[in-house]
Amino acid sequence: METPETPFHPGETAVQRRAGVLDQAGHVGRSVRAVIPPVAAHFLAERRMLVVGAADARGRIWATLLTGHPGFLGTPDEGTLSVAARPVPGDPLGEVLSGPAKVGTIALEPAGRRRMRLNGRSRPHAGGLLISADQVYSNCPKYIQRRRVLDSPAPAAPPAPPRWSTVLDTGQSLRIATADTFFIASADARGDTDASHRGGNPGFVEVVAPDRLRWPEYPGNNMFMTLGNLEERPQAGLLFPDWETGTALLLTGTARVGWAAGAPAVDFTVGAVAELPAAGGLRWSAPEFSPANPPVAPTGRR
């Protein structure tokens, strides 16, 4: 359990120990706070997107996307994040976010390769959310592809309804196999939730089967909050944004971490798929790939 001396739960420390970075994690962990400093408040106020992770009524974890104009994220006080947006109709987290929920969030600025995570407890408020912060911290710029927001034309017609399935179709598989970015939501044994970013060159996520994905875990900040959560609870949610169309592809399922040759990789089994057309409301430029992205290993050699 976390204490004033450490923000990490036993699953996280177990993974840190296995990776041989327990001391480094302890040092980095001192940056995790329960308040939003002024520099972070300024960063949030300028953002256009927020990824939110939570568990639905069945205990399945999802990650979804909320967007708005600059200022849709605010900090009414140092312990609270306000969000002037709700999930689109049909979003699997729409119902749970209409009441109190444990959430993990990540605000991303692709143009500047910056990101910030805030985890806590949300409640509905004035057409949006108020989130009481438990953990606030920034991450390094590694693996973030540089993109800028483009002006989005007004939709000519209402978006199509969500499409649900239990496996990926051919188009969805191709989208994932060529993705350079996704987001993952996870939770510990107590249900405290986290949302995180994953990036790499196209092909870094392998579609092993219509119901199975695999990706390598590249070196990061050594806190291993996602893998630590999966150590305690295998449920996870993935979000693959379509940067050109605004469609969001949401997956929920279970994840297993392997440690071949000492390097972690994740096998994800799909439980359900929700495709939300025009969920993002934003369009983005073509990517400038991160110089930190490792070469993609040939299929079957990860």
Reported confidence tier of residue 297, pLDDT bands at 50, 70, 90: confident
In a domain, 300, yes or no: no
In a domain, 302, yes or no: no
For residue 68, CA distances in Å to 33, 108, 240, 250, 281 come to 26, 13, 18, 19, 8
The answer to whether the CB of 118 falls within 8 A of the CB of 135 is yes
The stretch 271-286 carries a mean pLDDT of 91
- Burial letters for 175-207: b for 16+ Cβ neighbours within 10 Å, e otherwise? bbbebbbbbbbbbbeeebbbbbbbbbeebbbbb
Higher pLDDT among residues 30 and 94, named by residue: 94
Structural tokens at position 289: 């790939």
**CATH code at position 62:** 2.30.110.10
d(CA 104, CA 237): 11
Higher pLDDT among residues 302 and 238, named by residue: 238
Which of 289, 270, 300 lies closest to 176, judged by CA? 270
Reported confidence tier of residue 302, pLDDT bands at 50, 70, 90: very low
Reported confidence tier of residue 27, pLDDT bands at 50, 70, 90: confident
d(CA 227, CA 214): 14
d(CA 53, CA 281): 19
The stretch 36-58 carries a mean pLDDT of 97
**Structure confidence at residue 6 (pLDDT):** 80
Q: Are strands 212-216 and 181-187 parallel, antiparallel or unpaired?
A: unpaired
d(CA 97, CA 50): 14
Taking the whole predicted model, whether its pTM rises above 0.75 is answered as yes
In a domain, 55, yes or no: yes
Let me know the angle formed at the C-alpha of 272 by 267 and 274, rounded to the nearest 5 degrees.
115
In a domain, 221, yes or no: yes
In a domain, 295, yes or no: no
Reported confidence tier of residue 128, pLDDT bands at 50, 70, 90: very high
The answer to whether the CB of 119 falls within 8 A of the CB of 133 is yes
Amino acid at 266: V
**Structure confidence at residue 279 (pLDDT):** 84
Find the domain containing 188 and state its range.
10-284
The stretch 16-43 carries a mean pLDDT of 92
**Structure confidence at residue 301 (pLDDT):** 47
Q: Tens of pLDDT along 68-92? A: 999 999 999 999 999 999 999 999 9
Reported confidence tier of residue 278, pLDDT bands at 50, 70, 90: confident
Higher pLDDT among residues 152 and 222, named by residue: 222
Q: How many domains does the chain have?
A: 1
Helix, strand or coil for residue 5? Answer: coil
The answer to whether the CB of 191 falls within 8 A of the CB of 118 is no
Q: Tens of pLDDT along 134-181? A: 999 998 999 999 999 997 665 656 778 899 999 999 999 999 999 999
Residue 150 CB neighbours (<10 A) = 12
- Tokens 């799909």 correspond to 270
In a domain, 299, yes or no: no
Report whether pLDDT(203) > 90: yes
Count of alpha carbons within 13 angstroms of residue 118, beta-carbon side: 28
Structural tokens at position 273: 């798929």
Percentage of the chain beyond pLDDT 70 is 94
In a domain, 2, yes or no: no
In a domain, 5, yes or no: no
